[in-house]
Amino acid sequence: MPARRRVVRTGGVVGDARPVNRGLAGLLTRDDLLFGEAAHRRWLLTLPPFRPPSGHALHEVAETIAPTTSWQSGSVLLVGEHRGAGCLFWVDPDVAADEVIPFRGEARQQLDLVRRLVPRALPALVAPDALDSPTVGARRAVLEASDPGALDGSSFGLSLGLATASSLLEAPVPAAVIAMARLSTDGRCERVGRMYEKLEVVHRWALGVGRVLVAPAQEEEARSAVLQLGAELIIQPVADLSAALRDVFGDVEAALRERWAREPESADRAARALLSLARDGCHHLLDWSAVAHTARGLAHQLEDGEPRWMAQLAEHIANRHRDAPTPLDLQQEWLRAQPRPFRLKLWAHVVQSAADGMEDWRGLLDLARGELAAPGDEHTEDLALAAALGRAHASWYEYDLAVPLLERAADGWIALEAAHEMSYAVSELLRIAGASGNTSLRASTVERYVGALESAPQTSAAGRGFVRVALGRSAVQLGDRAEGFALLAALTLPESLPAHLHAARLRWLALASESDEQAAALRGELGSYRDGDGRLALELSHLDHAIDVGEIDAALRSARDQRLLGHEAERLTVYFGPAGDAELARLLARHSRY
């Protein structure tokens, strides 16, 4: 009976360990290679990190074996460790999935994380569609161990961040740079295990590498290891992903402007890609700043015409996702010329934009509503537009018009066996129920939709989170503070969900608290969102407390200084009529969408 293979997980690789040989120098000088070994050596030397640089003693030998090199965006060297030995792997986005060792466990989690973090950290995107082509694994570069079977561990985080950014920018990672750091959920660089062993395998094999990015906490450890190894490696600490991307890729926006000027066709492609990303949405994006900035720069560079309009629309949609809507000159003829599924998606964004501004929103809603198919003949795009129309009416407090549209969307998704799509509509119905004091609406929403949404296997963590926070909020607003507190206290939101959702949960928990001390502690916790996406919930929480203690003036002024809350205050006076500060504060705290 053959020996049972031992599978382990230690700091980066799952599999067996084998004795270490003399590295690339030994491989280059061997003349007794088997055919497979010779082919692998030739491939290895085409990878820039393994290519001995000009002036190196092995440079000429390498040139004789493999005279050309390949270097493309999205490729990067990964450094792992198994049972005390360093291991190297090569990420190549063009290699078929069945030819790579797959990511598992923490390595997979780090890959999913960087797909959310990188678009936030980059000032611009060249190929945003690369987000939908995820890396699934890496090829084994060093044959010192048997096939590991799977790649696990968190130490690949920063390297995968560089690879993802490289794909989005269509710019290769510099050959001489590698990274060894774990990424936290907010993009900070953190320690990795077995630094010495990892630097040792880099020193022996990756002869083209000259600089290693590490977490600040490991700078001294890495420098000490380099000294012990006698390696010619520069250790560079980087605090977070953003700093690493600036260091590796330089002034991205300037390079992009030069490229668009040099290659006009790439500018047209970028405009279409950005609009596609903005139109269809992307669950990887927590922050749309890079899309908005790229689209703005592109629109300024393009001449009048369809590509420029596409870039302007992409910027507008991205800014709406950022809760920073910008004016839009609606090109109705262009919009009517689009295929109906695309047209409905774009109308949904335009409708939501009407809800975010003070322009002639009612006329836009009437035009958009005319695009809807008859009830029963609706596709998912119709339902998304109906939900957007409902949310737009709700943003102007026309709850009697909003509810039928939101229920139409939710019922339609259930009929299409797509209940997981209705989370925003259901969340809005619950918000309306709480804001308007409509207990029967909350009860019917729970009965008809919440269970179906929760039981749908495709429902995302974000969808569940938004609905559960809305359930807690509506309970508090309808007077059942105990139920609201219980719902929100029991809710654990993944860190990856938007900051404003976490902040909203804390705000309503504070309102539902039984003691002043508990409420104060929760408001204090909200303070961490002062400069981020949860700042509106923080301002509203201050307003809640000010109403409770009768000290409204300063809190109301501070809330109105926030542009979106200021817009809501203006709308409230339009819909409900002029109000004194105390009444306006109560209206804003009760009806705000945030």
pLDDT-based confidence at residue 324 (cuts at 50, 70, 90) = low
Residue-averaged pLDDT of the chain:
85
State mean pLDDT over 439-456. Answer: 96
**Helix (H, G, I), strand (E, B), or coil: what is residue 263?**
coil
Spatial separation of the C-alpha atoms in residues 149 and 243, rounded to whole Å? 33
pLDDT-based confidence at residue 564 (cuts at 50, 70, 90) = confident
Domain regions of the chain by residue span? 9-249, 372-497, 504-594
Q: List helix spans (H) across 419-513.
A: 423-436, 439-445, 451-455, 461-477, 481-489, 499-512
pLDDT-based confidence at residue 357 (cuts at 50, 70, 90) = low
The CA-based dihedral angle spanning residues 221, 224, 225, 228, taken in that order and rounded to the nearest 10 degrees? -160
| Token pair of 448 as six digits | 């008809």
pLDDT beyond 90 at 330: no
State mean pLDDT over 13-34. Answer: 65
Give the pLDDT of residue 307. Answer: 87
pLDDT beyond 70 at 185: yes
Give the whole-number percent of the chain exceeding pLDDT 90: 46
Which tens digit of pLDDT belongs to each residue from 95-146? 887 888 899 999 998 998 888 788 777 767 777 667 767 678 898 888 676 6
State mean pLDDT over 221-249. Answer: 93
Give the pLDDT of residue 282. Answer: 54
Supply the DSSP string of 384-433, one letter for each residue.
Answer: HHHHHHHHHHHHTT-HHHHHHHHHHHHHHHHHTT-GGGGHHHHHHHHHHH
Closest CA to 503 of 555, 453, 465: 465
Give the pLDDT of residue 123. Answer: 67
User: Looking at per-residue confidence, does 4 or 113 come out higher?
Assistant: 113
pLDDT beyond 80 at 320: no
pLDDT-based confidence at residue 278 (cuts at 50, 70, 90) = confident
User: Looking at per-residue confidence, does 143 or 546 come out higher?
Assistant: 546
Question: Check: CATH 3.30.1130.10 for 9-249?
Answer: no
Q: Which of 5-14, 437-446, 528-537, 552-561 has the lowest mean pLDDT?
A: 5-14
Give the pLDDT of residue 281. Answer: 64
User: Looking at per-residue confidence, does 436 or 303 come out higher?
Assistant: 436
Spatial separation of the C-alpha atoms in residues 183 and 179, rounded to whole Å? 11
pLDDT-based confidence at residue 20 (cuts at 50, 70, 90) = very low
Task: Give yes or no for a contact between 373 and 382, defined as CB atoms under 8 angstroms apart.
Answer: yes
**Helix (H, G, I), strand (E, B), or coil: what is residue 79?**
strand
pLDDT beyond 90 at 291: no
Q: 2: alpha, beta or left, given left = phi > 0 and alpha = psi -120 to 50? A: beta
Which tens digit of pLDDT belongs to each residue from 343-352? 898 888 888 7
Closest CA to 279 of 313, 309, 304, 305: 313
DSSP state of 103: B
Q: Which amino acid belongs to residue 324? A: A
What sign has the CA pseudo-torsion 454, 459, 462, 463? negative
Give the pLDDT of residue 442. Answer: 97
pLDDT beyond 90 at 316: no
pLDDT beyond 90 at 267: no
Supply the DSSP string of 315-332, one letter for each residue.
Answer: HHHHHHHTT--------H
Give the pLDDT of residue 515. Answer: 92
What sign has the CA pseudo-torsion 132, 155, 95, 262? positive
How far does CA 146 lie from the centroid of its chain?
35
Give the pLDDT of residue 409. Answer: 96
Give φ, ψ of 297 to 5 degrees: -65, -40
Task: Give yes or no for a contact between 202 and 209, defined as CB atoms under 8 angstroms apart.
Answer: yes
Half-sphere exposure in the Cβ direction for 77 (13 Å, CA): 34
Which tens digit of pLDDT belongs to each residue from 374-410? 988 999 999 999 999 999 999 889 999 999 999 999 9
| Token pair of 172 as six digits | 């290769």
Share of the chain residues as helix, strand and coil, in percent rounded to the nearest 5: 60, 10, 30
User: Looking at per-residue confidence, does 324 or 557 come out higher?
Assistant: 557
Q: Which of 91-105, 161-175, 198-212, 549-563 has the lowest mean pLDDT?
A: 91-105
State mean pLDDT over 43-54. Answer: 88
Spatial separation of the C-alpha atoms in residues 593 and 371, rounded to whole Å? 26
Task: Give yes or no for a contact between 388 and 352, defined as CB atoms under 8 angstroms apart.
Answer: yes
Spatial separation of the C-alpha atoms in residues 178 and 354, rounded to whole Å? 47
Give the pLDDT of residue 15. Answer: 40
Q: Which residues contact 521 (CB under 8 A, 6 or more apart)?
A: none
- Given the DSSP bridges, would you call strands 137-140 and 85-91 parallel, antiparallel or unpaired? antiparallel
How far does CA 456 lie from the centroid of its chain?
23
